Chain A
């Protein structure tokens, strides 16, 4: 098929004397039709999306009113709430919830990284060969396709409205990206020690333990730390579905129009995300 297309579009060789720059210019592939079609399609998509995504009049007005209230009240940060006065009986204040969010993200990432390891090997051409790697890659794609929120909804149904459901969501969802990046790291590494290990009579298992792990561990850790960054953000959002952490507090505050509480939560989220970001980039720089 490719050969056929190549022959179809191939410029026929002509005697050199006949070929002039002007003639070559005329043979320049005509792209304008494709360009025009693409532009039209793009504009149509923009127009359609804009139509569907903008607020209608009624919604806009409601939003306007609450927006003013929100901005005014967001400034009045509820500092009392920070260390827990138990405004609702099942919430112990923002500091506690922040720690819980970090714990969910950390354990979730760790779980994800550990689970991603076998998937990474399964999707690596270096380890399992080309054909199995295609299958492993497909598995990882399937895992990645599942949106985090959907996963969280299912797991909250299964394990109840608690942090464990959040932890599991983050762990399972991290496998997709971590496994993929792990397999790429393993494929990109220096393969020569594996040859040496073969020559000393090592088993596949020994090769993984002594030829691959020591080489890729710093890179894998770095990837996992990057994922931790992402997961801290996820963990704060997942609470909205009831999977523990700051999100749950945010949800309850939002339901009760407690803008001052939301302001406090936002500050906590900003501080937490920025801190984790700084710490993880520092560690990643140290690793590589």
Chain B
């Protein structure tokens, strides 16, 4: 279980990204965080695995207070949380296989990883993840040879190889075309359903968020203004989150 208690984040330049956030996310949920750019979505997501340290409050994962741990214990925590980025964050000059294998780096000693030695189970696990994502045939191609959607699948495979309990996704489809977007979102839904992995995703597209996520968290100026089922969302709530109602052409459409 993931829990935020009075989380406040103030950046050194004085920007208050989070102003007292309280949240509880149960295992196996598919949560979408929506809100304007700069509302604090990315900060909220990155506070979970301490990619961004919070100013005050508490972030707890299964009873561990993330905000106080560091060093080895922090790395141990991070390796159990997958993360997906808007720009995929692959090493483009490396093969797909090696990129996926990166999900296992934190499981081994520095000495073995120095020489690029990974146990056979890890290699099999990496290939299984690629198989799950349907891109097993691309394993030994350089990552930059793939399309955007395929690269995001590689990133998902990398996250799966960590055998995570939780996957954080920061705008996972924002740089993909509409058709690829639907495919990648389907992949998220499948992972959530088949493996029971909790998914917390920042989303730009409201209709995508409503379609795929079971729960929506709306953020405005660092405060949670809506937290509920996606079926409860109506125009008034969107006005609360975005400051005005969305026009017809601002949603992705079916």
- Using a CB–CB cutoff of 8 Å, the interface residues on chain A facing chain B are 190, 192-193, 195-203, 205-206, 209-211, 214-215, 218
Contact = CB atoms under 8 A, between A and B. Distances in A.
Contact of A196 (B79, B80, B90, B98): B90
B49 interface: yes
A57 to B, nearest CB: 63
B126 to A, nearest CB: 12
Given A192-B85, A192-B89, A210-B105, A201 B94 contact: no
B158 interface: yes
B93 A218 contact: yes
B49 A205 contact: no
Interface stretch (B27-35, B70-78, B179-187, B243-251): B70-78
Contacts of A198: 51, 78
Contact of A197 (B92, B105, B168): B105
A199 B81 contact: yes
B125 interface: no
B87 A201 contact: no
A192 B102 CA distance: 14
B79 A200 contact: yes
Contact of B83 (A196, A211, A214, A218): A196
Nearest to A207: B105
B110 interface: yes
Nearest to A198: B51
8 nearest A-B residue pairs (beta carbon): A201-B106, A201-B79, A199-B83, A201-B78, A196-B89, A201-B75, A192-B89, A193-B91
Given A202-B106, A206-B106, A215 B83 contact: no
A190 B106 contact: no
Interface residues of B, number: 34
B110 A200 contact: no
A221 B173 CA distance: 36
Contacts of A211: 91
B92 A199 contact: no
A200 B114 contact: no
B113 interface: yes
B158 to A, nearest CB: 7
Contacts, number: 80
Contacts of A200: 78-79, 82-83, 102-103, 105-106, 158, 162
Given A192-B85, A196-B89, A200-B106, 7 more contacts: A199-B49, A200-B105, A202-B105, A203-B106, A206-B113, A210-B98, A211-B91
Nearest to A204: B110
B133 interface: no
B155 interface: yes
A196 B158 contact: yes
Interface in B49-88: 49, 51, 74-83, 85, 87-88
Contacts of B110: 203, 205-206
Contact of A210 (B51, B92, B102): B102
B102 A197 contact: yes
A152 B109 CA distance: 42
B106 A214 contact: no
A198 B102 CA distance: 11
30 contacts: A192-B85, A193-B91, A195-B51, A196-B83, A196-B90, A196-B155, A196-B158, A197-B105, A198-B51, A198-B78, A199-B49, A199-B83, A199-B168, A200-B78, A200-B83, A200-B106, A200-B162, A201-B78, A203-B75, A203-B106, A205-B114, A206-B105, A206-B110, A209-B116, A210-B98, A210-B113, A214-B91, A214-B93, A215-B91, A215-B92
Given A195-B51, A202-B105, A215 B75 contact: no
Nearest to B168: A199
B45 to A, nearest CB: 11
A215 B168 CA distance: 25
Of the listed residues A200, A205, A210, A214, the one surrounded by the most CB atoms of chain B closer than 10 A to its CB is A200
Contacts of A210: 91, 94, 98, 102, 105, 113
A156 B155 CA distance: 54
Most buried by A among B82, B83, B93: B93
Contacts of B85: 192, 195-196
Interface string B154-184: 0100100010000010000000000000000
B94 A214 contact: yes
A200 B106 CA distance: 7
A4 to B, nearest CB: 25
Nearest to B88: A192
B75 A202 contact: yes
Contacts of A215: 91-93
Contacts of B162: 200
Given A192-B85, A205-B110, A206-B110, A199 B91 contact: no
